[in-house]
Amino acid sequence: MTLQTRVLLEGLDFPEAPRWHDDRLWFSDMQAQHVMAVDLEGKAEVIAEVPGQPSGLGWLPDGQLLVVSMTERRLLRLDAEGLTEVTDLSGLASGNCNDMVVDKLGRAYIGNFGDDLGGGQFSPAQIIIVTPEGDARVVADGMYFPNGTVITPDSSTLIIAETFGSRLTAFDIESNGSLSGRRVWAQLSEEATGRGNSFAELRSKPEGIIIPDGMCLDADGAIWVANPLGKEILHVREGGEVTDRIELSSGVTACMLGGPDRRTLFITAPGPQSSGTIETVEVAVPGAGLP
């Protein structure tokens, strides 16, 4: 099936981490250091400035916004006083912090790079949980770039993209927030780490490799996930069957189901020289779960 996107917003630097909340799409424009929101008419607003580059977004049960400050390796909260620190993650995260999902109890699950994506070796990374009180601990390790993350509607399962493992990995969520029962939900291609020792080497040999990035869950239990190497969004069922592809002309980083009936798929697409966009397409099955 061929799905045609339309541009909702343009002139962005590096849009990431889209979230549908309060009738708007919220997202991080990482390199511009902005958290932003845009409505369905394309009217955009800067919500906050994050000098450490914003990444994952989520909300506490009381409605306060949580923001991952990527290069500072901190979790921030937006309140009446502005952005304040919830906790410093630099002692737990082996690389810059990345995407995040916040559960119904306000517990934040945060991934990280594992290395600097430069010329070094790929390094295993951690998933860190942060409670609303700011207590943080590692709940999974040995992950190859834990990235986009979803939680099923019954709050029982967390599924995360291991970008350089080229797979989606599932965990059971325990009552205290710990993760157990680690398993492969979908192996999308051979592991990206087999193509080289750095992100630059990987980009030079992309054929046949899928590196899952930001993603969202639908009501059928399938996942829409960005594949930056292929400049595409994939619709994947558990086990790895790809049922649909949406191709874009530029790179992609993430996607999110939102809109009044959660059938609008929002796609974040970075580009050179402030040519990044938010694009949309209507799909048949509505979104489900978190974020």
Instruction: Give the model's pLDDT for residue 271.
Output: 83
206-240 per-residue burial string, b: 16 or more CB within 10 A, e: under 16: beebbbbbbbbbbeeebbbbbbbbbbbbbbbeeee
What does the alpha-carbon distance between residue 14 and residue 217 come to, in Å, rounded to a whole number?
A: 23
What does the alpha-carbon distance between residue 219 and residue 90 come to, in Å, rounded to a whole number?
A: 36
Domain range summary for the chain, segments of one domain joined by +: 6-282
Which single residue is written with the structure tokens 């790929």? 122
- What is the residue-averaged pLDDT of the chain? 93
Among 164-173, 242-251, 253-262, which is the least confidently predicted range?
A: 242-251
120-140 per-residue burial string, b: 16 or more CB within 10 A, e: under 16: eebebbbbbbbbbeeebeebb
Output the pTM of the full model: 0.95
- Domain 6-282 matching CATH 2.120.10.30: the answer reads yes
Residue 123 has pLDDT above 90, yes or no: no
Residue 115 pLDDT grade (very low, low, confident, very high; cuts 50, 70, 90): confident
Collapsed DSSP state (helix, strand, coil) of residue 272: coil
The DSSP output letter for 70 is T
How does pLDDT run across 196-243, given as a tens digit for each residue? Answer: 555 666 666 567 889 999 999 999 999 999 999 889 999 999 999 999
